[in-house]
Amino acid sequence: MSSAAISASSPALPSASSDGVPSGSDYKPRYIDIGINLADPIFRGRYHRKQRHPDDLEGVVQRSRDVGCTKLIVTGSSFKSSRDALKLAEQFPGTVFTTAGIHPCSSAIFERKHKRHHEADDAASGDEDGAEEHTPACGPDPTKPHAEDGDVDVAKSKQIIADLRKLVETAPSNALVALGEMGLDYDRLHYCSASTQRHAFAEQLKLVANLAEAGKPLPLFLHSRACHEDFVRLMKDQFGPRLETLPRGAVVHSFTGSIAEAEELMDLGLHLGINGCSLKTVENCDVVKVIRLDRLMIETDGPWCEVRPTHEGWKYLVKAADAARAKAQEAEEAQKAAEEAAREAAREAAAKEAAEKAAAAAAAAAAAGTPTDGGEPASNGRPPRPPRQKKQNNNGNNNQKKKEPAVPDRFKVVKKEKWEEGAMVKGRNEPCTIERIATAIAGIKGIPVEEVCEAAWANTVKVFGSLE
Ligand SMILES: [Zn+2]
């Protein structure tokens, strides 16, 4: 069924439609975060190798489930993070799924001058002392000089690919659902030179083909930043001019390219992953507008890539929040009007009853020949006073109410220094914010959020499998 058939304007259907897709006004969003760096130590409370607050990974996963994001595809971007991701899949079976690959920013391990063993390497650590252990952040860092071209060590390269193959072949197939993250990133050449990145990408694509030949076809989780031509060329070199031998489809995640680039990738059958980094500028949002629903996937790329108030995409969150507030106010007013109507009806009924009683008393008195005592009937024919409404407790002044943020937070947000159980940490993006991605995309496209959610879900399951 076409996802376009599901919309907020369609009549409310309390049950699932014929193909099992929930629809109608009782629709609850469902999400798969296709790119979440959940193996990053930051989700254990570790920031730059320092424990800053208790391990709150369980809380992160729970908040994700609370918003309907029940499946997390955890990015493996190095040997270490790929193995850590597999451990998470063991810890959260049926919720966490993983990828395994070497990120372009982690590809310096292919070079002769790289000293540490590739298995020991922590993600995109460019530091000799390994002081950085986080997954590669999204976005260029102009302060850092580009890495010089280094010689690729052929023997090392063979060993890396053999080890990666072994990792993939020995991982539980219900946990490891894709190869990657792999690709090119010419915005962050300080981690690894362009030539080495191309080598690492080409070698991993060859591995993809070899694994498919050996009966293990896997979809791909790809990264392409500021490198479109080389990226497409390497893909075509391996899988043919129409990517006709690509085993099982692929997603180019965290897409920030141009409209023309998006069109080319979509025409090649690739999917595009949208996160907060894809919603930064007016141009970014123009690209999102043209992404076809049958090519869309959504992600948070946490702990990175949150949608920020300075981003163009934020405006759509404000709009959606305003609309939600207006709708809530409308509902409140309708409720008040209904209550007032009920009170009015009660008043009328009471007045009628009192008048009838008075008439009956007068008739009885006349029949008995006794004058009335001039006393009034209890209510004097007037309706009883309506019960006093309770004053709302807002310190007696509406204007003193704390101003609600333009885009309300679903969960409490605190600084990491003030960490508390159940709260999100400021600046640490996590999968529960995926609803903001879907909301912004829906706003940009002018379609109900249900359409975005259902399309992204269907595409993800189609490429990555049923994730069970
Ligand atoms: Zn990436």
- For residue 380, what pLDDT is reported? 52
More reliable by pLDDT, 141 or 220: 220
CA of 109 from ligand 1 middle (Å) equals 18
Contact 112, 152 (CB under 8 A): yes
Contact 64, 72 (CB under 8 A): yes
In the predicted structure, residue 23 carries a pLDDT above the cut 80: no
In the predicted structure, residue 8 carries a pLDDT above the cut 50: no
pLDDT tens, residue by residue, 295-327: 999 999 999 999 999 999 999 999 999 999 999
CA of 273 from ligand 1 middle (Å) equals 10
pLDDT tens, residue by residue, 165-211: 999 999 999 999 999 999 999 999 988 999 999 999 999 999 999 99
More reliable by pLDDT, 251 or 399: 251
Q: How confident is the model at residue 399 (pLDDT cuts 50, 70, 90)?
A: low
In the predicted structure, residue 450 carries a pLDDT above the cut 80: yes
- For residue 126, what pLDDT is reported? 43
pLDDT tens, residue by residue, 78-117: 999 999 999 999 999 999 999 999 999 999 999 998 888 8
CA of 75 from ligand 1 middle (Å) equals 9
CA of 77 from ligand 1 middle (Å) equals 8
| Residue the block writes with tokens 């019960």 | 387
Whole-number Å distance between alpha carbons of 139 and 243: 28
- The mean pLDDT value for 440-456 works out to 98
Whole-number Å distance between alpha carbons of 420 and 273: 32
In the predicted structure, residue 433 carries a pLDDT above the cut 60: yes
- The mean pLDDT value for 436-453 works out to 98
Distances (CA, A) of 17 to 1, 11, 23, 457, 468: 10, 12, 7, 16, 22
Q: How confident is the model at residue 218 (pLDDT cuts 50, 70, 90)?
A: very high
Range in 175-189, 354-368, 392-406 the model is least confident about: 392-406
In the predicted structure, residue 454 carries a pLDDT above the cut 60: yes
Q: How open is the CA angle 399-400-404, to the nearest 5 degrees?
A: 85
CB-based neighbours (< 5 A) of ligand 1, an ion: 223, 254
- For residue 167, what pLDDT is reported? 98
CA of 4 from ligand 1 middle (Å) equals 29
pLDDT tens, residue by residue, 37-72: 999 999 999 999 999 999 999 999 999 999 999 999
- For residue 187, what pLDDT is reported? 93
- For residue 109, what pLDDT is reported? 94
- For residue 383, what pLDDT is reported? 54
The domains of the chain are located at 22-322+414-464
CA of 423 from ligand 1 middle (Å) equals 26
**Into which CATH architecture does domain 22-322+414-464 fall?**
Alpha-Beta Barrel (3.20)
- For residue 219, what pLDDT is reported? 98
- The mean pLDDT value for 288-300 works out to 98
Q: How open is the CA angle 254-288-69, to the nearest 5 degrees?
A: 60
Q: How confident is the model at residue 3 (pLDDT cuts 50, 70, 90)?
A: very low
Q: Give the phi and the psi of residue 390 in degrees, each rounded to 5.
A: -70, 140
- The mean pLDDT value for 258-281 works out to 98
For 462, residues 6+ apart whose C-beta sits below 8 A from its C-beta are 249
CA of 373 from ligand 1 middle (Å) equals 92
Q: What percent of the chain has pLDDT over 70?
A: 84
Q: Give the phi and the psi of residue 445 in degrees, each rounded to 5.
A: -85, -15
Contact 104, 185 (CB under 8 A): yes
CA of 18 from ligand 1 middle (Å) equals 37
- For residue 121, what pLDDT is reported? 54
In the predicted structure, residue 377 carries a pLDDT above the cut 90: no
> What does the mean pLDDT of the chain come to?
88
Contact 414, 7 (CB under 8 A): no
For 133, residues 6+ apart whose C-beta sits below 8 A from its C-beta are 41, 46, 48, 49, 122, 123, 125
